Structure 1
């Protein structure tokens, strides 16, 4: 039987709610610690309904991972870097990545958990191969234009820049408690966050534009 538009909207909304709550549950408690019963309780649905939409705990976790990675890729695509000068585009991309990680800390915790498991589950997501390509493709386009204009060093490549930006943005979330305890910065203040946002932009632009012998 074909679902009515109202039932379809309800299904989409319920699935989105389960995905949002499951993201926090897996990010907080890991794959082993998260409980489907608790996710069902928090979304006012049933375990049976969650299994109907996602097919089980592992498939729900995989859906959470895929959705988390899709979020950062969609944010990158919103930049329209082809309309900017390459130096400005690179800075915008670095600062946008910082901002996205800052506002989506569950994403970082999920990535950390997946690395603890040595990528056991992410390897099952064939779609992430395609999801990862836009990040490098955008950087490739920025770098190509920057080199064409003589603004960027010929030694610059997309993978190095992606690693540089990602490592900084991940660290400031993943290690904020240990780093904060050891060195006493408060990562939650507006002034600190603005400084860190500008800093990663300065770093990537300086590295990309440095002419090497």
Structure 2
């Protein structure tokens, strides 16, 4: 149900999607959707939660506190970047949500942001203690910067693709972009 809802909401946004379409795509009766989620808006909120949970789980699994902070940061950013590369529906869903003022994301994002912040906080504190990471780092700014640097590549891909000769989703281009992002983040948070 949630995969079908993600697909339809990503294609048409909340306002353009119909419960009938989602139920048909999922191969279920629309009454079942109403039974489990109550309304189209509640289903949409659950789709956001479902997708953000995937990101949180993925980022949590990227951290190994005993590892070098640079390796942890690299794994976390790589995981998020390739999650976006492999989940166009999520990128589109977030674009729709941004166009609509974050009406429903406001209900979901704070809890996940706090969880990610807690995960990153341990890595940052460990890096500061080990004198790898600058002590004046604002973790929320770092998380927002990583999110923006990664998301914009996929969110604006169709607009900027004419500037590149290669397909922006080719492995070579994806890795070049990821290395650029890592360089910017490393220059910003790691001590010289």
Same fold per superposition (TM over 0.5)? yes
Which of 88, 95, 107 does residue 78 from structure 2 map onto? Answer: 95
Q: 2:63–2:119: 8 Å Cα contact kept in structure 1? A: no
Distance in 1 between the 2:104 and 2:71 partners?
A: 36
Does residue 138 (structure 1) correspond to residue 138 (structure 2)? The answer is: no
Instruction: Name the count of aligned residue pairs.
Output: 192
Q: Tell me the CA shift for residue 62 of structure 1.
A: 0.9
Give CA deviations for 1:103-146 in whole Å, capped at 9, x if unaligned: 122222111111111122223x2x54322212111221111111
Cα distance in 2 between the residues matched to 1:81 and 1:158: 18
Tell me the secondary structure at the aligned position of residue 78 of structure 1.
helix
1:38 maps onto 2:21 in alignment: yes
CA positional deviation for 1:170: 0.5
Match of 1:119 among 102, 108, 116: 102
Q: Rg larger in 1 or in 2?
A: 1
Q: CA deviation at 1:210?
A: 4.2
Per-residue deviation, residues 24-47 of structure 1 (Å, max 9, x unmatched): 100110011111111111122111
Aligned to 1:202: 183
Structure-1 separation of matches of 2:190 and 2:144: 17
Q: Secondary structure at the match of 1:83?
A: coil
Could you tell me the TM-score, scaled by structure 2's length? 0.92
Measure the CA separation in 1 of the matches of 2:61 and 2:3.
22
Per the alignment, residue 48 of structure 1 pairs with: 31
Q: What is the aligned partner in structure 1 of residue 170 from structure 2?
A: 189
TM-score normalised to the size of structure 1? 0.83
Gaps of 5+ in 1: 1-17
Deviation at residue 197 of structure 1 after TM alignment: 2.3
Structure 2 partner of 1:129: 110
Task: Quote how far apart the aligned CAs of 1:183 are.
Answer: 4.4
**Contact persistence 1:95–1:200 (CA under 8 A):** no
User: After the TM superposition, which of the residue ranges 39-48 and 27-36 deviates more from structure 2?
Assistant: 39-48
Q: Which moved more, 1:146-155 or 1:63-72?
A: 146-155
CA distance in 2, matches of 1:129, 1:159: 12
